[in-house]
Structure 1
């Protein structure tokens, strides 16, 4: 399911709520070749209580670096993190360095569920669960295009 228009404001918050309900993990990426501004550092600090682990990786849900690595932060989808993710941004595609860590994406049982490449304005959801699809479609204002195989 391709997200055709950047979810903003209430659409963003409703999508984030669904992702937190469905998934057990989310990730944020910090590229080593780009600085973080103070606000982005504060966001990472606020999320520390939900941090599972930080790995240095070249591949993650929404991207791949060739010959380089980035810091990929893996977080639990707990209520504290939910509130922070909803309060620190009002747009899925705003997750771009230096203003925020990159590419907020969600993982369900070790499989990418909401994949977000924010700087390229590309986001999509991978699910075959009919109940999840129904809930996604019912998010008022969310513009998605179903992908049929």
Structure 2
């Protein structure tokens, strides 16, 4: 069963205790670190050395050997040709894992050995993590997941009952998740209590009938990444300026999460989203701005205030020419204001 995000803090410690008690080994992928991080990296390996059972080294991109290892242990831990260390599960080794990290995503190169996974006796994952892909999960049933979520605040698992949006948001609020994906709920508007998921840093919404964004969305002060895919969107409210920590804004119209016979993609001229509010210039941390398939026909000059903006992508809009003020934005690495996909793409060279 997948996790929405990896548990952190006290929840991480409780999950480690749980995994230690239900597993025979835990596995870490080991690389030779750069000198700059060698001290911390090797400190972890030295602390775990008394519990090392064996190491398996796969060289030269031997994919056949990787597949054999993965099939032998029935585990997600093995997916590249690397060195893998197997450690004995015990209270002592578990304490080291809790001391060295605050969450599963901390186990990533170059600061730490990678992808902490726990193997059950006889094979199979009890808990797995593939940190680069933001994938985390546990081998438990729906009922076991509900019981654990009641017991461990911060363990947020993808339940079948989350097809009910109210239940999904209630659990997201309870577990203070920092990441949430909403899709398949046939929404025309987001519930106002989205504002209560106060720890959100990443929010992705794929709802073809979503048309209006609530004010509560813009009270998520910690939000760093907001992605919205829908068939049509009324507007980008001026209150987006309140998202002071936003680094990436992605909006794509003409999207469908459940295409059915009779579904018609509107022409760009029919899309309601026809302008970017000047308040966009108040998002001082914004690095990526992508708004695709809209009737937007001009860019606000306030974009020039975005000193950290590296990527500006407004493809499949209705902008006739590139505004002169973009020449002043020396930090831009990529810009696309084409009316057609993949045309008139410009790599900025100053």
Q: State TM-score, norm by structure 1.
A: 0.85
Aligned match of 1:87 in 78, 99, 102?
Answer: 99
Report the structure, 1 or 2, having the larger strand content. 1
Structure 1 residues 147 and 108: CA distance shift in structure 2, 3 A: farther
Please give the TM-score of this superposition, normalised by the length of structure 2.
0.38
Aligned pair count reads 143
- CA deviations on 1:68-105 (whole Å, 9 max, x unpaired) are x2110001101221110000000111110110000001
Q: CA shift at 1:119, angstroms?
A: 1.9
**Per the alignment, in what secondary structure is the counterpart of residue 38 of structure 1?**
helix
Distance in 2 between the 1:3 and 1:45 partners? Answer: 30
2:10 partner SS = helix
Write out aligned runs for 1:1-149 (5 A). 1-31=1-31, 35=34, 37-57=38-58, 58=66, 60=70, 61-65=76-80, 69-109=81-121, 110-128=123-141, 133=145, 135-137=147-149, 138-146=151-159
- CA RMSD across the alignment: 2.2
Cα contact 2:29–2:82 (8 A) shared by 1: yes
Deviation of the 1:50 alpha carbon? 0.5
Q: Distance in 1 between matches of 2:100 and 2:86?
A: 18
**Please, which runs of 5 or more residues in structure 1 have no aligned partner?**
none
Q: Helix, strand or coil: the match of 1:73?
A: strand
Partners of 1:79 and 1:4 in 2: how far apart? 27
CA distance 1:99–1:133, shift in 2 (3 Å): same
* Ranges of 4+ aligned residues in structure 1 off by more than 2 Å: 34-37, 57-63, 127-130, 132-138
**How far does residue 63 in structure 1 lie from its aligned partner after superposition?**
4.1
Secondary structure of the corresponding residue to residue 3 of structure 1: coil
2:189 corresponds to: none
Q: How far apart are the structure 2 equivalents of 1:72 and 1:9?
A: 26
Q: Secondary structure at the match of 1:82?
A: helix
Unaligned runs of 5+ in 2: 59-65, 71-75, 162-350
Deviations 1:89-139 (A, max 9, x none): 001111101100000010111211111001221101123496x54553221
